[in-house]
């Protein structure tokens, strides 16, 4: 049954139907002057293990398991996922510019699946963002970061200065919405990763907490 579920997820991914993406624009914000030249996503910056319950919804298919993220150098993380029954699904090492696949379950060993995971985790684990412009609204400080054709909007809670959302756009179209719930700068208690041009959603829920 597990094999059938993974195969159905793969087939759905291959047969993805694109939906139109609207141009992303900030609303109800004001421009502010700021001294920040760079802002950071520190949620995966510790060398301790980050262990999450993972739920992946790919169209109408649902896959769940345990996801472990480990920082193994200043630029590289190792990511591994097992099924709820303890079977390894995928294991890879990733940095902003490199990707090394250590293991993948044969049912998942398809280029479209690997590229999807590579892109999502490169965006999720990206740490530094040069600040192009700063904004604010009632609840958030917002930083615009432009890198080539990619544009990021980072929202920090005004009360505790914790990162609560990253909107990743490309060619002015919203691609991925990362929403975090956290009590510390270095550890997100939960994460919701929502694609805007695919019916793909990844949710992570804390199992162990970094000190």
Task: Give the residue, 45 or 60, on which the prediction is more confident.
Answer: 45
Residue 149: its pLDDT value, please?
Answer: 81
Does the pLDDT value for residue 66 go beyond 80? yes
Token pair listed for 199:
């019916």
Confirm if 44 and 199 have CB atoms less than 8 A apart: no
> Can you give the pLDDT at residue 43?
96
Mean pLDDT of 54-79: 89
Contact 56, 42 (CB under 8 A): no
Looking at residue 136, its pLDDT comes to 94
Of 52-66, 70-84, 98-112, the poorest mean pLDDT is in 52-66
pLDDT score of 150 more than 70: yes
> What is the reported pLDDT for 151?
94
CB 37 within 8 A of CB 201: no
Distances (CA, A) of 74 to 21, 127, 163: 35, 10, 20
Dihedral angle of Cα 169, 201, 9, 114, to the nearest 10 degrees: 50
209 against 91, higher pLDDT: 91
Which pLDDT tens digit goes with each residue over 113-144? 788 889 999 999 999 999 999 999 999 999 99
CATH code of the domain in which 118 resides: 2.50.20
pLDDT at 63: 79
Helix, strand, coil % in the chain, rounded to nearest 5: 15, 50, 35
Rg (CA), the chain: 17
pLDDT value of position 17:
38
- Using the Cα atoms of residue 101, residue 105, residue 111 and residue 114 in order, give the sign of their dihedral: negative
Contacts of 6 (CB under 8 A, 6+ apart): 63, 105, 107, 108
pLDDT value of residue 25: 82
- The pLDDT assigned to 60 comes to 67
For the cut 60, the answer to whether the pLDDT of residue 175 exceeds it is yes
**In the chain, pLDDT over 90 holds for what percent of residues?**
63
**Domains held by the chain: number:** 1
What residues make up the domain containing 116? Answer: 2-208
Mean pLDDT of the chain, nearest integer: 86
């Amino acid at each position: 049954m597990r094999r059938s579920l993974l195969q159905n997820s793969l087939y759905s991914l291959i047969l993805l139907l694109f939906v139109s993406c609207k141009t992303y624009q900030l609303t109800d914000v004001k421009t502010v002057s700021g001294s920040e030249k760079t802002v950071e996503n520190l949620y995966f910056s510790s060398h301790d293990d980050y262990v999450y319950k993972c739920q992946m919804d790919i169209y109408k298919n649902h896959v769940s398991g345990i996801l472990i993220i480990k920082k193994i150098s200043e630029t590289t993380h190792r990511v591994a996922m097992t099924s709820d029954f303890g079977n390894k699904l995928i294991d890879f090492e990733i940095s902003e510019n490199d990707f090394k696949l250590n293991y993948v379950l044969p049912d998942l060993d398809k280029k479209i699946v690997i590229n999807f995971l590579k892109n999502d985790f490169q965006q999720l684990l990206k740490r530094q963002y040069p600040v192009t412009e700063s904004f604010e609204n009632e609840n958030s400080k917002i930083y615009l970061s432009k890198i080539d054709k990619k544009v990021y909007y980072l929202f920090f809670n005004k009360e505790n200065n914790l990162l609560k959302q990253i909107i990743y756009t490309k060619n002015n179209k919203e691609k991925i919405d990362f929403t975090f719930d956290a009590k510390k700068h270095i550890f997100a208690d939960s994460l919701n990763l929502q694609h805007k041009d695919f019916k793909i959603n990844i949710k992570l829920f804390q199992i162990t907490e970094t000190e």
